[in-house]
C-alpha cells in the first residue's frame, strides 16, 4: 500500500532542495550536540520516511531516497517504510554501499550535498567533504529544509533551568572556571567554545531538562579570559537562574543566537574547541572566523571532560549515599519480585513501573537516568529490548528477570543491573550466571597502577566467560555523571577500542560501571552490573596504585550461583561483598520481613 | 688523571670534522640494522670516550664533548670517562638537556650536524632534522669519520653464511617470496627494500653469525616482482650458499654496494620500506631515488614481520621438541645446583658455565640465544646484572639463584628463567615467589578472543603482584624467533605501550614469553619465565578464541611456594603444570636419581 503521507512530504522536500540548488539532502539522527537521546523536534528522518529506530540516516535526491540503518532495525525499517518508495540500505551487509560510497557513485561532478550542519558531528562532516572532493561536490550545511516543510513540527524542548548549590556540587562555578582558564592558557587559547551539554552543566552548576533522561539544557558556552557567555533559550531562564547568572558573571544570550554571535566576533585570540563535541556548522563558522581574525583554531579534548569525570570529595560523598539508598530500594524490589512472582499478575512492564515508582519516592528524585530495561527470559538475550505496556511479556515463576535501571537524584546518578531468579533455571544458566558474577567481582577487586586504561582491566571481567567460549558483545564499563548523564567519558572499560574511541586512564574519583553478561539467543540473558569508584591506594617505587570500591550494594541471586564453578577466591569475594551488602543496606530497610530475607539472601556460601 | 689516549683521538676527530665542515658530530650505539648487539667494529662511541655500556650517545664539537646515558650507567660512565674531558649527561635527570635540546641551544644558525647515517634509525634522524630546522642546521650523514681516525679498527664481522633446508624451515624461499610479493602488490609497491636482518634470514632460509647471539648475517635485500638481490659480504658466501642462491634465484651483491646500487637504480616502480627498520642513510637515498624516478616511497610495516612471527607447522613441531630437550637439560641443571650448592665451589659464573656446557652438548646446538644471566640473591634484583668470571658472587647454601638462559639449536631458539632455592629463604620471599608463579600460570592459562593484544592479557601475569603493591618494571613477554633472534616482534605482552611500540594482536602460531618477576633492591630477585605458543581454539558467534600452550617444561621450586598465598584454582594450575613437566621431561632424563628427584619436585601440593 502506498504511503502517500511520506511521499507528499518527500515531494515538498524535493521542491525545497531544488530551490536551494541542493542535489542530495542528508538527514541523520542527532540533535545539535550529539546527545544520546533526541527530542521530537529533531526527528526529521522519521518525518520523511516513517522509520523511528534509534539509528538511521536518510538521503534524498530528486530521483531516489535511501535510508541506512543497522541489523537491529532491518525488519522494523522495512515495515515502517513500506509504500514510501524509500529504499532500505542494510549497513554492514555485503554489497551494500555505505552512505559515502553511495554518494560517491551517484553524485555528479559539481553537484551539491546539503544537510543541516548542526546535526552532523564535525568528524562526519569533514569525512564526507574530503571523500566527495574528488567529485568536486560542494556542501551546503547552513539550511534546515525540514523547517520549511514540516508544518506541525514540535518545538525545541524548552524546560526551566535550575541551579545546584555550591554545597551540593562541592565546587563553585568560579572555582571550576578558573581551572578551565588555566587549561586554556596552557593550550594557548584565549577563547574556548564549548558545545557539550553535560560539560557546560557541570561547569556552571546548572541543570536542565531538554534531553530525555539527561538533566541538561540545550546550550552552548563561549569562554574567554574575562567573560563567560551562555547561550540558552530565554524561556528556560527562571528568575532564580537569572539572578544566579548575574551574581556569578554568566552573560546570557539566546540559544538561537550562537552562530550570529560567532559571525560577529571581532577579536578572539586563538580559539579552542573539541572537534568530537562540536557540530559541523559551528566548527565551520569558528574556522571561518579564525581565518578572518588571523588566529588559530585549536582542536583539543574539552578540558572539562577530565575535570567532570574525576569527582570531587563532596560529589563522592553524595554519590555514595545516593547509591546506598538506591541499592536499598532495588533490594526491596528484588524481594517484591521474588515473593510475588506467580502470585500476582506481573509483566516486564509492570515490574519496571513498580521499581520506577519506588525510586520516584526517594528524596531528591529527579528522573530516571535511562528508560528501565526489564526483560524476561529469552527477551533478556536481546541487547536492545524495550518492553512497552502492550508488548511486555508476562513474568511467570520460571526462569529469570533482568532489570537494568537507575535514576538521577539531587546527589547523584545511578545505574545498576540485577538478574533475578523467579523460578526453575537450568544448570547451564547457573554456570553462566556464576561466571558472570565472578567476572564482575574480579574486576571490582582489581588493584592496578595509575596509567592503566579500561583495556588493561577488561579481561578480569571477561576471562571467566572466555574460558567457556562465551563473550558479551558490549563494553564492560562506562563512566557516569554526577546528577548528569548516565553515560559519560572519557573512561571506558572495553577489550578493544575502535579508532575515535577514547582509551583514557582510570583516575581516582572516576565512577565506572562493571557489567559483564551472557546472552543466549532464544534462551536467556544475564547481566550483573555494579558501579565502582576508582580509589587511590599506595604510592611507592613502582608507581601509584589504584583500586575500586563498590558503590552498588544489592544482593546477587544465590539461587543462580553454583559454587562448583567458583574458585575459593571467587567464593570469598562473593561472601565479602554480600556481607557488605547486608551491613550497609539492612539499616535502610524498614520492613523486618525484607531484612530477614536479605540476611538469608546475603548469607555466606 | 688525564686520559691522553681519548683526548688524542678526539683531537684527530675534530680535525676531520673541520675538514668536512661538520660542527657537531654524533655517535650513537648501533650497527647499520639497529641490532640488539653491536660488533666491535661499531663501537665508535666507546673508542672516542672510553665508556663501554650498552647505551650511550657521544656528541663532539670543537669546544665540547658530551655523552648521554641512562641511570644504569651513571657510575660506570663517570669512571670510564674520567680524565677524558667528556661531560656526562645523565638522561632523564632533572635539568639535564636531552641531546636534541643540547644541540638546539648550542648549535648556531646554519651549522652542520654530522653522523654516520647508517647507524641512526630513520625516526631518530628525521626527528633531529625537524627539530633543528628552526636553527637552519643541515645534516651531513654520508660520512663515517671514525673510519679515518680509528686506525686499528676491528673489521666488520664476517662469518660464513649457511643454508637451512626447506624441510627444517617448513617452507621454501620461493614459497615465502611469493607471499611477500602478494603483499607488495596489495600495497602498490614494485620494489621492496628490506633491511631487517632476521627478516631477510627468515625469508631466504639462510643464517649467519655476524651479530652476537643472533644467527644472522649482515645483509640487505632488494625485492622486485622478478628479482631478489641479497647484499652480503663476498667472503661470507660459501660454495654451498652460492649454489643455493643460484638455484633459488637470489642475486648476490656486495654488502658495501647497497648504497651505490640504490643510487644507480634506473627504474623501480613504487618502493616499499619500513621506516622503523631502515637506517637514515638508506632511507634518504631511497627517498632521493623515488623523487628522481617520480615514484612513491611507501612506508609500511615489513610484511615479513607477521609471516615470520606466526610459525608454520614444521617450525612449531621442531620448536616443541627443542623446548622439551632444552627443558630436560635445565631440569638436570636445577638438580645439579640444588644438590651441589654448599658442597662444591660455585659462583654465578661457574653455574652459568655449567648450564651453557650442558646445552652445548645437545644435538643441533648453534649458540646461546643471549648471554646467560646467573644472579645470586641481591644481585638478582638488578635488572641488567651480568656476572663475569672475576666479579661473580659465590653461590652459597642460602637464598636463591636466578638463571635466565637459552640457546639456538637447529630446530628452534629457547629462553627460560627459573629462580632456584639454594638454602633458607624468608616468608616474604615465599610470598613474592608464589605470587610470581601464580601470575605466570594465570597468563599461561588465559583464553581470549582473537584481536586481543599483549595489553589485554598482561594484567593476568601482574595482578597477583599488584594486589601486594609490587610491580616489575619490564614487559611480561616478547616474541621469539625460529633459529633466530630471541627477541622478535610484533607481539609484546606489556601493560602500556609507548608511542612507537607495536601493540600487535596475538595470533595463532606466535611464540611469546611469560615472565613476571619481583625485584627487591638489596635483597632478592625472582623471575619465572615460561615460553608459550598461541593456539587456535573454537570459532563461534563470539569470534575466534585463542589460548596458550606451554613450550617450557621445567619444575618450579616448591620450596619457595606457600599454598596459603594461592587460591585453589592457582594450586590446581601449578599441580597440572607440574604433572605435565614430569610426564614430558622424565623420559628425557637418563639419570634415575634425577628422575626420582623430579618426581618429588613436581609432586602435587
C-alpha cell at B574: 601449578
**Strand order across the B373-376 sheet:** B373-376, B400-405, B416-421
pLDDT class for B304, splitting at 50, 70, 90?
very high
Q: How far apart are CA A570 and CA A233, in angstroms?
A: 53
* Chain A positions in Cβ-Cβ contact with residue B523 (cut-off 8 Å): none
pLDDT class for A93, splitting at 50, 70, 90?
confident
Is B455 close to A456, i.e. CB distance below 8 A?
yes
Is A460 close to B463, i.e. CB distance below 8 A?
yes
Nearest by CB to residue B447, choosing from A451, A467, A568, is: A467
Residue B384 burial (CB count, 10 A): 10
- Per DSSP bridges, beta strands B220-224 and B112-115 are unpaired
| pLDDT greater than 90 at residue B249 | yes
Beta-bridge partner residues of B529: B417
CB burial class (10 A; 0-12, 13-18, 19+) of residue B57? buried
Q: pLDDT above 90 covers what percent of chain A?
A: 93
Q: Which of B33, B36, B28 shows the shortest CA–CA distance to B212?
A: B36
* Complete domains list, chain B, with CATH: 4-149 (3.40.350.10), 162-308 (3.40.350.10), 314-601 (3.90.230.10)
Give the gap in angstroms from C-alpha B195 to the nearest C-alpha of chain A: 30
The whole-number pLDDT of residue B19 equals 96
User: What is the DSSP-derived secondary structure letter of residue A371?
Assistant: P
Helix, strand, coil percent values for chain B (each to nearest 5): 40, 25, 35
* Chain A positions in Cβ-Cβ contact with residue B446 (cut-off 8 Å): 459, 463, 466
* Chain A positions in Cβ-Cβ contact with residue B570 (cut-off 8 Å): 567
* Chain A positions in Cβ-Cβ contact with residue B460 (cut-off 8 Å): 459, 463
Nearest by CB to residue A448, choosing from B460, B466, B570, is: B466
**pLDDT of B342-373, one tens digit each?**
999 999 999 999 999 999 999 999 999 999 99
Is B460 close to A458, i.e. CB distance below 8 A?
no
The whole-number pLDDT of residue B71 equals 84
Q: How far apart are CA A80 and CA B303, in angstroms?
A: 49
Q: How far apart are CA A217 and CA A203, in angstroms?
A: 13
**pLDDT of A147-159, one tens digit each?**
999 999 999 999 9
Residue with cell string 627477541: B487
Give the gap in angstroms from C-alpha B54 to the nearest C-alpha of chain A: 24
| pLDDT greater than 80 at residue A522 | yes
- Best mutation target among B439, B463, B468 (most A Cβ atoms within 10 Å) is B463
The whole-number pLDDT of residue B420 equals 98
Q: How far apart are CA A76 and CA A50, in angstroms?
A: 10
The whole-number pLDDT of residue A583 equals 98
Q: Which of A433, A457, A453, A435 shows the shortest CA–CA distance to A445?
A: A457
What is the DSSP secondary-structure string of B581-599? Answer: HHHHHGGG---HHHHHHHH
Please answer whether residues A389 and A353 qualify as being in contact, where contact means their C-beta atoms are separated by less than 8 angstroms: no
- Among chain B residues, CA nearest to A542: B471
Is B456 close to A568, i.e. CB distance below 8 A?
no
Q: How far apart are CA B561 and CA A561, in angstroms?
A: 31
Give the count of Cβ contacts less than 8 A between chain A and B: 86
| pLDDT greater than 90 at residue B501 | no
The whole-number pLDDT of residue B552 equals 98
Beta-bridge partner residues of B272: B192, B298
In chain A, what is the greatest distance between 2 CA atoms, to the nearest angstrom? 76
* Chain B positions in Cβ-Cβ contact with residue A459 (cut-off 8 Å): 446, 448, 452, 456-457, 459-460
Please answer whether residues B528 and B404 qualify as being in contact, where contact means their C-beta atoms are separated by less than 8 angstroms: no
Give the gap in angstroms from C-alpha A567 to the nearest C-alpha of chain B: 6
Please answer whether residues A402 and A380 qualify as being in contact, where contact means their C-beta atoms are separated by less than 8 angstroms: yes
* Chain A positions in Cβ-Cβ contact with residue B564 (cut-off 8 Å): none
Q: How far apart are CA B379 and CA B519, in angstroms?
A: 10
Is A446 close to B456, i.e. CB distance below 8 A?
no
What is the DSSP secondary-structure string of A15-83? Answer: HHHHHHT-SEEEE-S--TT--SS--GGG-HHHHHH---SSS-EEEEESS-EEEEE-GGGHHHHHHHTTT
| pLDDT greater than 90 at residue B268 | no
| pLDDT greater than 90 at residue A567 | yes
C-alpha cell at A597: 530475607
Q: Which of B443, B436, B418 shows the shortest CA–CA distance to B549?
A: B443
* Chain B positions in Cβ-Cβ contact with residue A567 (cut-off 8 Å): 567-570
- Among chain B residues, CA nearest to A538: B469
The whole-number pLDDT of residue A377 equals 96
Is A469 close to B537, i.e. CB distance below 8 A?
yes
- Mean of all residue pLDDT scores within chain A: 96
Residue with cell string 577514547: A502
C-alpha cell at A526: 544475564
- Per DSSP bridges, beta strands A511-514 and A530-540 are antiparallel
A264 φ/ψ angles, rounded to the nearest 5 degrees:
-95, -5
The whole-number pLDDT of residue A502 equals 79
Is B540 close to A469, i.e. CB distance below 8 A?
yes
C-alpha cell at A447: 588493584
Give the gap in angstroms from C-alpha B529 to the nearest C-alpha of chain A: 21
| pLDDT greater than 80 at residue A499 | no
The whole-number pLDDT of residue A405 equals 97
Nearest by CB to residue B448, choosing from A449, A451, A466, is: A466
Give the gap in angstroms from C-alpha B61 to the nearest C-alpha of chain A: 36
Mean pLDDT of the region A299-325? 98
Give the gap in angstroms from C-alpha B543 to the nearest C-alpha of chain A: 8
Please answer whether residues B482 and B411 qualify as being in contact, where contact means their C-beta atoms are separated by less than 8 angstroms: no
Give the gap in angstroms from C-alpha A449 to the nearest C-alpha of chain B: 8
Q: How far apart are CA B115 and CA B280, in angstroms?
A: 10
- Best mutation target among A432, A469, A473, A506 (most B Cβ atoms within 10 Å) is A469
- Among chain A residues, CA nearest to B505: A496
pLDDT class for B390, splitting at 50, 70, 90?
confident
Residue A83 burial (CB count, 10 A): 14
Among A313-322, B63-72, B532-541, name the one with the lowest average pLDDT. Answer: B63-72
| pLDDT greater than 80 at residue B500 | no
Give, in degrees to the nearest 5, the angle at Cα A215 between A250 and A509: 85
- Best mutation target among A432, A439, A455 (most B Cβ atoms within 10 Å) is A455
- Among chain B residues, CA nearest to A570: B567
The whole-number pLDDT of residue A385 equals 82
| pLDDT greater than 90 at residue B391 | no
In order of A327, A413, A414, A579, the CA distances from A318 in angstroms are: 14, 10, 12, 22
* Chain B positions in Cβ-Cβ contact with residue A458 (cut-off 8 Å): 456
Residue with cell string 661473580: B392
Q: How far apart are CA A597 and CA A592, in angstroms?
A: 8
The alpha carbon torsion through B179, B184, B187, B189 (nearest 10 deg) reads -170
Amino acid at each position: 500500500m502506498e504511503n502517500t503521507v511520506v511521499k507528499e512530504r518527500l515531494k515538498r522536500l524535493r521542491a525545497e532542495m531544488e530551490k536551494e540548488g541542493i542535489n542530495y539532502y542528508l538527514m541523520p539522527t542527532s540533535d545539535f550536540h550529539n546527545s544520546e537521546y533526541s527530542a521530537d523536534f529533531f526527528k526529521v528522518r522519521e518525518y520523511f520516511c516513517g522509520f523511528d529506530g534509534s539509528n538511521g540516516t536518510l538521503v534524498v535526491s530528486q530521483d531516489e531516497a535511501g535510508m541506512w540503518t543497522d541489523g537491529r532495525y532491518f525488519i522494523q525499517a522495512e515495515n515502517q517504510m513500506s509504500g514510501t518508495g524509500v529504499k532500505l540500505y542494510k549497513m554492514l551487509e555485503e554489497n551494500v554501499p555505505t552512505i559515502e560510497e553511495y554518494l560517491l557513485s551517484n553524485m555528479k561532478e559539481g553537484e551539491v550535498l546539503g544537510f543541516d550542519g548542526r546535526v552532523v558531528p564535525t568528524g562526519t562532516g569533514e569525512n564526507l567533504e574530503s571523500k566527495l572532493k574528488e567529485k568536486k561536490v560542494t556542501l551546503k550545511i547552513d539550511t534546515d529544509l525540514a523547517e520549511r516543510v514540516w508544518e506541525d513540527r514540535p518545538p525545541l524542548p524548552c524546560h526551566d533551568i535550575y541551579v545546584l548549590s555550591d554545597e551540593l556540587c562541592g565546587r563553585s562555578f568560579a572555582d571550576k572556571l578558573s581551572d578551565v582558564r588555566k587549561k586554556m592558557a596552557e593550550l594557548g587559547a584565549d577563547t574556548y567554545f564549548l558545545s557539550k551539554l553535560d560539560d557546560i552543566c557541570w561547569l556552571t552548576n546548572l541543570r536542565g531538562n531538554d534531553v530525555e533522561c539527561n538533566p541538561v539544557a540545550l546550550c552552548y558556552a563561549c569562554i574567554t579570559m574575562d567573560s563567560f557567555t551562555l547561550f540558552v533559550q530565554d524561556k528556560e531562564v527562571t528568575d532564580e537562574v537569572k539572578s544566579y547568572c548575574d551574581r556569578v558573571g554568566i552573560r546570557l544570550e539566546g540559544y538561537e543566537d550562537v552562530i550570529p554571535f560567532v559571525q560577529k566576533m571581532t577579536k578572539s585570540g586563538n580559539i579552542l574547541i573539541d572537534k568530537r563535541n562540536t557540530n559541523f556548522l559551528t566548527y565551520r563558522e569558528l574556522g571561518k572566523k579564525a581565518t578572518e581574525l588571523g588566529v588559530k583554531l585549536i582542536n583539543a579534548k574539552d578540558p572539562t571532560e577530565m575535570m567532570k569525570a574525576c569527582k570531587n570529595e563532596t560529589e563522592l560523598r553524595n554519590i555514595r549515599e545516593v547509591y546506598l539508598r538506591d541499592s536499598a530500594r532495588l533490594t526491596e524490589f528484588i524481594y517484591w519480585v521474588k515473593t510475588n512472582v506467580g502470585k500476582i499478575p506481573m509483566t516486564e512492564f509492570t515490574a519496571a513501573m513498580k521499581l520506577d515508582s519506588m525510586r520516584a519516592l526517594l528524596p531528591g528524585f529527579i528522573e530516571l537516568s535511562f528508560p528501565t530495561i526489564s526483560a524476561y527470559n529469552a527477551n533478556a538475550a536481546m541487547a536492545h529490548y524495550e518492553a512497552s505496556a502492550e508488548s511486555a511479556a508476562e513474568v511467570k515463576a520460571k526462569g529469570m528477570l533482568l532489570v537494568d535501571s537507575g535514576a538521577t537524584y539531587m546527589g547523584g546518578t545511578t545505574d545498576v543491573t540485577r538478574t533475578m531468579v523467579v523460578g526453575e533455571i537450568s544448570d547451564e544458566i547457573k554456570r553462566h550466571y556464576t561466571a558472570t558474577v565472578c567476572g564482575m567481582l574480579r574486576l571490582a577487586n582489581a588493584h592496578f597502577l595509575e596509567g592503566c586504561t579500561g583495556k588493561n582491566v577488561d579481561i578480569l571481567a571477561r576471562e571467566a566467560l572466555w574460558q567457556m567460549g562465551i563473550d558479551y558483545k558490549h563494553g564492560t564499563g562506562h563512566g557516569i555523571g554526577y546528577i548528569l548523564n548516565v553515560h559519560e567519558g572519557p573512561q571506558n572499560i572495553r577489550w578493544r577500542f575502535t579508532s575515535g574511541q577514547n582509551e583514557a586512564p582510570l583516575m581516582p574519583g572516576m565512577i565506572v560501571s562493571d557489567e559483564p553478561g551472557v546472552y543466549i539467543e532464544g534462551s536467556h540473558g544475564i547481566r550483573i552490573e555494579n558501579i565502582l569508584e576508582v580509589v587511590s591506594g599506595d604510592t611507592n617505587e613502582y608507581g601509584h596504585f589504584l583500586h575500586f570500591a563498590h558503590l552498588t550494594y544489592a544482593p546477587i541471586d544465590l539461587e543462580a550461583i553454583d559454587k562448583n564453578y567458583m574458585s575459593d577466591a571467587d567464593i570469598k569475594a562473593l561472601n565479602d561483598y554480600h556481607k557488605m551488602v547486608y551491613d550497609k543496606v539492612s539499616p535502610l530497610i524498614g520492613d523486618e520481613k525484607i531484612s530477614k530475607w536479605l540476611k538469608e539472601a546475603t548469607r555466606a556460601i
